[in-house]
């Protein structure tokens, strides 16, 4: 066995950079040479070591910088004396740290929002339970979350009060029937929508009342009735007269033709 110690060298072997690492460096530096400012595709870019591998530099991102072919090949294994490069690395670290802090803030905010959403859903469920002695299941809670994307908390509470007061029926054991409870629950977003529209257009309440009269007496063209009534309002129709017509007409066609005749006459007058 040889008793001679083997001679060790201090030469550090360069490890090839992966394609992913090169891309991360280029992306961080906006595909721009950090020495001369030329950018791809006007120049061929390479990844340069700020502290050369020959002098102990590693492949960590903080030691890597984007360089064009000319700047990189001209630098060789010399240590950089350009303080702007070091300053740029410091600024990049500060920016990355600030991004991390802001991302953490966003995540905290999202958790707070999720907590608020859960509390809001629970409060709506409690309001429904108070009105009906029954509370929505998981599927119902998912529906409530959808409502909250369209309507305010107050709008939903107001609609719950109206819907459960109007549609809820009770059995002999003084429990809400399943059918009436489901109907009252399903009507909450519809009532929210109607209340919002009537707030924007106060006369809509009268039009809905007229439509209700017609529905109870004759067939109604649902896709046309509200447009017809709104056109009549736009020409200053006497809504009391329209109500009377809805109560006395023989059929939908008679009602429709009389209202259309009124609109036609008023339109001709306005054009004269």
Domain ranges of the chain: 19-81, 202-272
Write out pLDDT tens, residues 223-253: 999 999 999 999 999 999 999 999 999 999 9
| 82 pLDDT tier (thresholds 50, 70, 90) | low
For 9, 16, 44, 156, 216, the CA distances from 59, given in Å and listed in that order, are 21, 9, 20, 58, 81
Does pLDDT of 3 surpass 50?
no
Does pLDDT of 220 surpass 90?
yes
| 54 pLDDT tier (thresholds 50, 70, 90) | confident
| 4 pLDDT tier (thresholds 50, 70, 90) | very low
Given the DSSP bridges, would you call strands 45-49 and 64-68 parallel, antiparallel or unpaired?
antiparallel
Arithmetic mean of pLDDT over the chain: 84
Does pLDDT of 12 surpass 60?
no
């Amino acid at each position: 066995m040889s008793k001679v110690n083997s001679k060790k060298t201090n030469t550090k072997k360069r490890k090839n950079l992966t394609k992913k690492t090169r891309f991360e460096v280029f992306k961080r530096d906006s595909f721009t040479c950090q020495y001369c400012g030329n950018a791809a595709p006007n120049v061929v870019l390479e990844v340069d070591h700020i502290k050369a591998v020959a002098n102990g530099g590693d492949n960590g991102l903080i030691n890597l910088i984007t360089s064009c072919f000319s700047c990189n090949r001209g630098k060789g294994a010399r240590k950089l004396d350009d303080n702007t490069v070091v300053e740029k690395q410091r600024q990049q670290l500060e920016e990355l740290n600030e991004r991390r802090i802001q991302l953490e803030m966003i995540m905290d905010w999202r958790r707070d929002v999720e907590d608020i959403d859960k509390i809001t859903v629970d409060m709506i469920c409690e309001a429904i339970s108070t009105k009906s002695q029954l509370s929505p299941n998981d599927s119902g809670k998912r529906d409530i979350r959808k409502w909250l994307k369209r309507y305010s908390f107050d709008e939903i509470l107001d609609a719950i009060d109206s819907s459960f007061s109007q549609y809820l029926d009770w059995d002999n054991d003084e429990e809400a029937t399943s059918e009436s409870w489901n109907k009252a629950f399903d009507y909450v977003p519809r009532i929210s929508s109607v209340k919002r529209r009537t707030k924007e257009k106060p006369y809509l309440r009268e039009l809905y009342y007229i439509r209700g009269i017609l529905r109870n007496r004759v067939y109604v063209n649902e896709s046309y009735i509200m447009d017809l009534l709104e056109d009549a309002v736009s020409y200053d129709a006497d809504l009391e007269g329209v109500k009377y017509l809805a109560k006395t007409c023989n059929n939908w066609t008679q009602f429709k033709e009389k209202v259309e005749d009124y609109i036609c006459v008023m339109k001709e007058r306005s054009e004269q």
